[in-house]
A and B are shown apart, each in its own frame.
Chain A
Amino acid sequence: MKQFAYFPGCSLEKIALSYNQSTVETTKVVGIELKELEDWNCCGATAYFHVDELLAYTLCARNLAMAEKENLDLVAPCSACFKNSYFTNQALKKDPDLAEHINVALQEDDLHFSGSIEVKHLLEVFVKDVGFEEVKAQVTHPLEGLRVAAYYGCQIMRPRKDHEDVEQPVFFEGLMAAIGAEPVPFPLRLTCCGGSLLISSREAALSMIHNLLKNADDNGAAVIATACPLCQINLECYQPQVNQEYGTNYHIPVVYFTQLVGLAFGLPDKAIGLGSELISATPLAQYAA
């Protein structure tokens, strides 16, 4: 059994509860043990790095140091948590002066950053640490004929990592194919969902969401799979507003990839948080265990 330090992040506590549930359940099936950090804190989300970089680094470094104490690589299911933790880990490894500075603050908590672990997104754990073969082996209810738009969002592929195709990645589609679903072409799969732009510029954000929904719909997607709570909220909750603004009639369920994986593994709906959607995931009903 492979162990990881688990950093669920604020969203998964409440608004993305189903992501948390399905993550915990599906990882169990493929033999991954997630040990939740005992006293994790917010990653700073999309805003804090622009307000105070040093403090933002410190915030993330605290989570990293806790994972280091356990001697486990850190896994985040939320793309913002992943991106901030990954960036911080890279920045502090590269700049020993900065790390030393931050370690003074961490000392208060009896913690120390040394750069001994890696930060991974949950999707990466399924793709690389578990692998498509193992995923396939656990599938009992393949999602045959389910047309899925695999939506990466913008934060998983940036920062650029070595030897990875950041422009046209295909691993998310690969995972969807591994559970028997049919990934559709989705050219805008790396394009931003608008993030927190809805707060400051509703018009611009709705246009970005509209582009994504239109692109998924044009390509015949029955469902959009996401790997980020913010993407999920933007694409799902604002569909009615997009419809109103653009005169469209979209009704596309937006679920977490772990929910689809769980469905294929034959886990009951309740265990993977299905049934709490705003846009009911009816296309998934036929695959239920």
Chain B
Amino acid sequence: MSEKVGVYICHCGSNIAGVVDVEEVAKWAGENIENVTVSRDYKFMCSSLGQALIEDDIKNEGLTRVVVGACSPHLHEKTFRRACSNAGLNPYLCQMASLREQVSWVVEDKQAATAKAKAMISGAVRRVQLQEELEPTEVPVNPATLIVGAGIAGIQAALELADGGYPVYLVEREPSIGGHMAQFDKTFPTLDCAACILTPRMSEVGAHTNITMMTYSEVEELTGFVGSFHARIKKKARFVNEEACTGCGICIEKCPKKVIDDVFEVGMGMRKSIYRSFPQAVPNTPVIDTESCIYFERGKCKACELFCPTNAIDFEQKDTYLDLDVGNVILATGYDLFDVKKMPQYGYGRLANVFTSLEFERMCNASGPTDGKIVLRDGVTEPESVAIVHCVGSRDENHNKYCSSICCMSALKFGHLVMEKTGAEVHSCYIDMRTNQKGYEEFYQRLLGEGMHFIRGKVADVTDAARIKEEEGKLIVQVEDTLLGKQRRIPVDMVILMAALEPRYDARDVGLKFGISCSMEGWFTERHPKLDPVATMTDGIFIAGAAQGPKDIPATVVQGAAASARVQGMISSGMVKIEPVVATIDEERCSGCRICNNLCPFNAIEFLAEKEVSFINTVLCKGCGTCVAACPAQAISGAHYSNAQIFAEIEGLLYDVYSSNGHKTAQPEIESVPA
């Protein structure tokens, strides 16, 4: 029995109809393509009236297949599949042809566009007749969520989920939660103190009954699939028993060994060998750094153990492993700062009074290494003039092409703090001033009023080579003032480099571990840049904060909340539908060569040793087709993308070159169909 195909050509207003002769395509399809029972064009197929057309035709004309020539299936495939489903037709018997993205938006010539539209419809009609009914599978969703990274993004996500009544496992690599925000002093543009707004949230996390906090821990492995992931967590040995420790801090006081704190104080301050990153650390349990601890070096000391009133010090503690079952994962792993030594022309590491932006944040912070005083590297002298260099490693062909998005505002904030605390002159050397969020431009105007100097130009060089008396003993910033059209040499006491935000050094490995992809630069890739910014191509794995791209605190918090909302949606529906467009292996034909096993980007293929064949876990499979193409025995077939379906589509596309029996026709209808 032959199929009855309905063809629907959408005008999309003038989006398609402005270039493609839609009436002609619909008429032609109805008259020339085999098995087309109904062929119509309509102003907006995605409107409820458009959908009703399809539904009515299925019921009244007995359509068994539907082809919609409209936009990309990314946009409305679900809409039309639902319409079919409403009328009792299996949704996978509907096929879309992308007449907008692939034809009217990219082909200028109207005749050629119409010809290409016909070819695409012809391909879709041939293909749809071979499509099969498919049913999605359903799996339950574990209500627990794993959040990786406890900066402000992870904290926000954790609190929202926990407040909603769901269990959360919050894993953090460092000894304390808080992330980069805990290192900052003030936040722009309101200048409220970062700690004052962050630490209440941190202690809320620490006290929340629904949150299991695992600091100084890392995810070793993640297996399973959306709804039921299994995570293996490595809890690094702290050498302090968390249950026994009261956080009194006597151990830290008594520890005789001081070392430079390269992490939290970015090399600006000291800490003890037993330490907590900062006074408000959550948890307040210290850790012993085995690399500098005298006991671990020489086997003697144990001053901390001697003085601990609760016997919490445990030198025998080992790394432990925990296995967790969770339904969803949120990755909020944050960013690293660009290594400014890669731009030696700015003198960092060579010229003492060149600072990074994070060093300056620590310096401003009242609990930081200088108690909040802005001073030169000697620790006492206040600067009389400061230059702030923007875009260090950002918007730079040699390093990162992108804009790091937060540095302009941080620079304005720094300018304000310098002037407020020292009265020094501040020169900001910028390429473009980017202040495009709520209250940001006003803050820029405020700094203009406060007397900060703005020089539009990228700094060429920071040097101590003086040319004139006024430059002696100063750092000289060489910059072209592009508004004046003049080279300028600005002698200053201190230079602050606004370092770019970069993906974490291990972002690619983390991406692999969680089965998600990274952009060229290394930022985690979202499912859709506009409409699905916190989901990823892997179901059940969400991303939030600067791990997805440079962003400020408000935007980070928004993403943390958004990711938790997405997870809550999954949990409250209880079940998750798994797309049936997957690959399957014909065991009879599988030779057990295992070529497909390592090719699968979703780790969906395993080898069944007993049967000596490979097996695809359909819950993990995304139907990408890699294994289908790779299998030398053609034992793997992709549902919805079978060879027969694809060849039928190609034949349809080439309708004017090949006749239905595969022989070349004598006279092609059009001389050239544009690619």
A residues adjacent to B (C-beta < 8 A)? 165, 167-168, 187-188, 210-211, 214-215, 218
Contact = CB atoms under 8 A, between A and B. Distances in A.
A214 B344 contact: no
The 8 A-B residue pairs with the shortest CB-CB distance, nearest first, are A168-B344, A187-B465, A167-B345, A215-B465, A167-B344, A187-B463, A188-B465, A211-B467
20 contacts: A165-B344, A167-B343, A167-B344, A167-B345, A168-B344, A168-B345, A168-B350, A187-B463, A187-B464, A187-B465, A188-B463, A188-B465, A210-B467, A211-B465, A211-B467, A214-B466, A214-B467, A215-B465, A218-B465, A218-B466
A193 B215 CA distance: 57
Residue from B343, B345, B465 whose CB has the most chain A CB atoms within 10 Å: B465
Nearest to B343: A167
Contact-size category for B: under 10
A138 B484 CA distance: 54
A211 B350 CA distance: 21
A261 B464 CA distance: 29
A168 B466 CA distance: 18
Given A167-B344, A214-B467, 12 more contacts: A165-B344, A167-B343, A168-B344, A168-B345, A168-B350, A187-B463, A187-B464, A188-B463, A188-B465, A210-B467, A211-B465, A215-B465
A194 to B, nearest CB: 14
Most buried by B among A168, A187, A215: A187
Interface in B313-346: 343-345
Interface in B452-466: 463-466
A214 B343 CA distance: 25
Nearest to A212: B465
A79 B466 CA distance: 26
A218 B464 CA distance: 11
Contacts of A167: 343-345
Interface string B159-184: 00000000000000000000000000
Contacts, number: 20
A82 B350 CA distance: 30
Contacts of B343: 167
Contacts of B345: 167-168
Interface string B71-107: 0000000000000000000000000000000000000
A188 to B, nearest CB: 5
**Chain B: interface secondary structure?**
loop
A191 B79 CA distance: 65
Contacts of A188: 463, 465
Contacts of B464: 187
Contacts of B344: 165, 167-168
B338 to A, nearest CB: 15
A210 B343 CA distance: 27
A167 B350 CA distance: 13
A210 B464 CA distance: 16
A165 B463 CA distance: 17
A93 B60 CA distance: 70
A211 B466 CA distance: 8
A224 to B, nearest CB: 14
B343 to A, nearest CB: 7
A188 B464 CA distance: 9
B539 to A, nearest CB: 42
Nearest to B462: A187
Interface in B566-597: none
A122 B52 CA distance: 81
B470 to A, nearest CB: 14
B515 to A, nearest CB: 34
Nearest to A207: B467
A165 B345 CA distance: 10
Contacts of B467: 210-211, 214
Nearest to A170: B344
Contacts of B350: 168
Interface string B459-480: 0000111110000000000000
B458 to A, nearest CB: 14
Contacts of A211: 465, 467
B162 to A, nearest CB: 49
A188 B467 CA distance: 11
A160 to B, nearest CB: 9
A215 B465 CA distance: 6
A177 B357 CA distance: 35
A210 B468 CA distance: 11
Nearest to A165: B344
Interface string B516-535: 00000000000000000000
Contacts of B466: 214, 218
Nearest to A215: B465
A168 B344 CA distance: 6
B671 to A, nearest CB: 33
B398 to A, nearest CB: 9
A273 B343 CA distance: 39
B114 to A, nearest CB: 40
A39 B229 CA distance: 75
A214 B476 CA distance: 15
A28 B581 CA distance: 73
Contacts of A165: 344
Contacts of A210: 467
A187 B461 CA distance: 10
Interface string B204-242: 000000000000000000000000000000000000000
A187 B465 CA distance: 6
A101 to B, nearest CB: 29
A157 to B, nearest CB: 12
Contacts of A168: 344-345, 350
B492 to A, nearest CB: 16
A102 to B, nearest CB: 29
Nearest to B466: A218
A218 B476 CA distance: 15
B605 to A, nearest CB: 40
Nearest to B344: A168
Nearest to A186: B465
A212 B467 CA distance: 9
B496 to A, nearest CB: 19
A161 to B, nearest CB: 13
A177 to B, nearest CB: 18
A218 B465 CA distance: 9
A184 to B, nearest CB: 12
A211 B489 CA distance: 13
B621 to A, nearest CB: 42
B453 to A, nearest CB: 24
Nearest to A168: B344
Contacts of A187: 463-465
A218 B343 CA distance: 25
Contacts of A218: 465-466
Contacts of B463: 187-188
A16 B345 CA distance: 32
A188 B350 CA distance: 14
B479 to A, nearest CB: 15
A1 B350 CA distance: 40
Nearest to B463: A187
Nearest to B476: A187
A168 B465 CA distance: 14
B348 to A, nearest CB: 11
A218 B463 CA distance: 14
Nearest to B465: A187
